[in-house]
């Protein structure tokens, strides 16, 4: 006959065993499963990709800004006041109708674009060019003075209509610089040394020295040599012959695509070489 309390003891043991079989939830795991942040967590590779997308979305547009198309009706003009002349330099016309350039000079700032020129503006005749890339000229056509002149460059089509014009710029022609006298000496080797005063004007007004000679003491209009360095004021040459009389002059020159003019010069020296 069973003991009165044995059944209750067995039931208690069974309940204990069943309770032990039920795994208690891990609080941390349960919290993670319920967290919206945990449900949205990504793998390392996915995180990198997401970061790249996010970064790309805020990078500004790096494409270059296109350059504006030049206005074919506008020419840029720069003038340089020099000893003996005014240098004009302008931008090339881009108009397909281009035929030629002409510059106008006036004692007044207002220069009309009409052709023929409206007085007091004049075409002094040294700037006509049919090559669109010939874009420099000079005005050495008047006597140097303190007068300030005004200039404007025009581009024309074949019918003489203005298709481009510059703004008005000013300039002044100064006196030609005095480079002094030419000093001449000869060596026993038969070489001749020529020395003169260096041109001290603005470097934009200088292109080269030109050494001119005249055989027999005549006018020095034959080119002996060219020196391109403004600071070099001497020449050693064996091209001059002994027992010969020469007239010698050195000139500082400014050259443009349409004209050259003298910005400085020495006196004419006549010498019979030993």
Judge whether 74-171 and 177-272 match in fold: yes
- Given a cut of 60, whether residue 82 has pLDDT beyond it is yes
On the question of a cis peptide bond just before residue 116, with omega within 30 degrees of 0, the verdict is: yes
- Binning pLDDT at 50, 70 and 90, where does residue 248 land? very high
User: What is the CATH number assigned to the segment(s) 74-171?
Assistant: 2.60.40.10
Tens digit of pLDDT for each residue in 95-121?
999 999 999 999 999 999 988 999 999
- Given a cut of 70, whether residue 221 has pLDDT beyond it is yes
Tens digit of pLDDT for each residue in 122-135?
999 999 999 999 99
- pLDDT of 259: 94
Pairing assessment for the beta strands 169-171 and 183-186 based on DSSP bridges = unpaired
Q: Decide: helix, strand or coil at residue 12.
A: helix
- pLDDT of 180: 96
CATH architecture of 177-272: Sandwich (2.60)
- Given a cut of 50, whether residue 53 has pLDDT beyond it is no
Each domain of the chain, given as residue ranges in start order, spans: 74-171, 177-272
**The token pair that represents 262 in the structure block:** 């003298």
Tens digit of pLDDT for each residue in 144-171?
999 999 999 999 999 999 999 999 999 9
Question: Which of 160, 74, 154 lies closest to 113, judged by CA?
Answer: 154
Q: How far is 234 from 124, CA to CA, in rounded Å?
A: 36
- Binning pLDDT at 50, 70 and 90, where does residue 63 land? low
Those residues with Cβ within 8 angstroms of residue 63's Cβ, 6 or more apart along the chain or in another chain? none
Q: What is the DSSP string of 184-230?
A: EEE-TTS-EEEE-PPP-S-GGG--EEEEEEEETT----EEEEEE--T
Minimum mean pLDDT among 55-69, 81-95, 201-215: which range?
A: 55-69
Tens digit of pLDDT for each residue in 13-44?
344 444 444 444 454 444 444 444 433 444 54
C-alpha atoms less than 13 angstroms from C-alpha of 157 in its C-beta half-sphere: 9
Residue 32: phi and psi, rounded to 5, are -65, -35
């Amino acid at each position: 006959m069973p003991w009165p309390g044995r059944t209750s003891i067995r039931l208690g043991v069974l309940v204990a065993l069943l309770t032990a079989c039920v795994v208690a939830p891990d609080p941390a795991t349960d919290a993670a499963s319920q967290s919206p942040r945990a449900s949205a967590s990504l793998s390392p590779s996915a995180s990198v990709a997401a970061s790249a997308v996010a970064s790309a979305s805020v990078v500004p547009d790096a494409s270059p800004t296109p350059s504006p198309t030049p206005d074919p009706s506008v020419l840029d003009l720069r003038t340089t006041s020099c000893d003996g002349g005014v240098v004009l330099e302008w931008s090339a016309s881009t108009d397909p109708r281009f035929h030629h350039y002409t510059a106008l000079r006036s004692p007044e700032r207002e220069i009309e674009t009409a052709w023929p020129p409206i007085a007091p503006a004049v075409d002094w005749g040294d700037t006509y060019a049919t090559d669109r890339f010939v874009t420099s000229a000079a005005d050495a056509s008047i006597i140097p003075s303190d007068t300030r002149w005004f200039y404007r460059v025009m581009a024309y089509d074949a019918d003489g209509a203005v298709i481009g014009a510059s703004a008005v710029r000013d300039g002044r022609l100064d006196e030609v610089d005095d480079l002094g006298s030419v000093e001449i000496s000869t060596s026993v080797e038969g070489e001749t040394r020529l020395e003169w005063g260096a041109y001290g004007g603005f470097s934009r007004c200088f292109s080269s020295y030109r050494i001119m000679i005249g055989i027999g003491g005549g006018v020095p209009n034959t080119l002996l040599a060219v020196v391109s360095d403004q600071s070099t004021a001497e020449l050693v040459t064996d091209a001059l012959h002994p027992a010969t009389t020469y007239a010698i002059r050195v000139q500082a020159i400014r050259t443009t695509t349409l004209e050259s003019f003298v910005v400085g010069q020495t006196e004419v020296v006549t010498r019979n070489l030993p």
